[in-house]
Amino acid sequence: MKNRLVKMIPVVLFPLLTWLISAPAGLETETWHMFGLCLSLLCGLILKPFSEPVISLIVLGLGACFVEKPAVLYSGYAAQGVWFLLAVLLACGAFKKTGLGKRLAYILLSKFGGTKFGRSSLGLGYVMMLCDLILSPATGSNTSRSAIVFPIFRGVSESLGSYPDKDPQKLGGYLELLEHVVAMSTAVLFLTGMASNAVIASTIKDIAGVELTWMLWFKAALVPGLIVLFLCPLVVYKLYPPQMKDLGDINPFVVSKMQEMGAMKKDEKILLALFIMAILGWMLGGKIGISMYVVAFAFLALELLLGVMDWNDLMAEKGAWNMYIWYGAFFSISGAINEGGFYSWLSGQIQNYLDLSAVNGMAVLVILLLISFVTKYFFVSNAAYIASIYPVILTLAASTNVNIMALSLMLAFFGGYGALLCNYGNGASIYIFGNGYVSQKDWYLKGTILLAMIFAVFLIIGLPYWKIMGIC
């Protein structure tokens, strides 16, 4: 308890300081007070004296004492983006409940396990990648997706004698590191691929005025993202090679697991049909006048109407409700300081020391992205990192020659890929690293190399592709 109280000191201190200290020249007093609350929330999410939703509620309670119009603190809970993300995360809980996610993985294993390619550790890596890819469009949390996919392949690894504390590099180390790269890569492909993507999209729209729809996001990510994704198993295989190359026949293991699951149940069949309909809705909805928000809620509503999920199942999705509480708070506060002109003011102060107005647009793009990579190490929460760093970078970019759409897309995609730098990049990073097959040194080193490779792919292939497609 004492440790928690110590960590709470900066959470309480920042609002007090902004209340006691006059607002700097160029800032309204109300905006200055909201900035204090933003710092308070960021400190709480980084230090974590309590869970994210508890911290968010504490900050909102404190904030009501420091702002003239407390209603602004709760406006984020009415935002479309917040409810969209909640609907997607609640709906994806059905994959765990019905077991459909596991079944799809075992089906893929059974199809490839008997082939020469499937008997190799590299082939197994590609099967794991395909499993994650299949689930990614409609599972709005790459943490949840990793929690479905990786235990299956960890089971394969352990069945072959590779454990975290015994022969980890025999097979498990390769699969663990690969799942981290894959989880970030599939998250990048779709706006619904991970929770932070919605935070990124709303931040970019608010600051830069660029709206990243589900289809635009997918179209832009398609070519460079798929190239990265299909290179991942091979590159990780070279960077962190498993000692076991030939796995032998893994079909007995797969068959036993599928027998345990039994025949495909009615709920699984319904969910599979709804899953396909949701993907089609997100892909084609913009052309027929149906927004991605409508599709998300229709997906969830049909799950409830058809009995795939019930209210108790929704209440059990703690991750979704946790996200709703802290994201709603962040949306409220960050939106308020943006409307108050804080980021424009801050970028003006930074420009006194870092003037990029006369620098070539491509050079500005690289510089700003490198800044975003370096600052990533200082954040445990991916959402906190996005909400605090991205507005500053986008506002700085407004006075330069950089292509705003290109920068927005790069920031959108590297909000996921950036997690490769450390073992706390986002929730999926923490979960996967926690399996214990890969040392922290190897995690950091290999992750940095992989990020550099991915950055090169997007610069060399992504940018020309976007230009050819008329995206930017």
Q: Cα(first)–Cα(last) distance of the chain, in Å? A: 52
Q: What is the pLDDT of residues 324-361, one digit of tens each?
A: 888 788 778 877 887 788 877 877 787 777 778 778 99
Neighbours of 84 (CB within 10 A): 24
In terms of pLDDT, which residue wins out, 332 or 412? 412
Please state, in angstroms and rounded to a whole number, the distance separating the CA atoms of residues 411 and 405: 10
- Provide CB contacts within 8 A for 209, sequence distance 6+: none
pLDDT at 381 over 80: no
Q: What is the pLDDT of residues 222-277, one digit of tens each?
A: 999 999 999 999 999 999 999 989 887 777 877 888 888 888 999 999 998 998 88
Q: What is the pLDDT of residues 275-316, one digit of tens each?
A: 888 878 877 776 787 877 888 899 899 999 999 999 999 999
Please state, in angstroms and rounded to a whole number, the distance separating the CA atoms of residues 27 and 318: 38
Confidence of residue 220 (pLDDT cuts 50, 70, 90): very high
DSSP string, 146-199: HHHHHHHHHHHHHHTT-BTTB-GGGTHHHHHHHHHHHHHHHHHH-TTSSHHHHH
pLDDT at 140 over 80: no
What pLDDT is recorded for position 411?
96
Neighbours of 164 (CB within 10 A): 17
- How many percent of the chain have pLDDT more than 70? 97
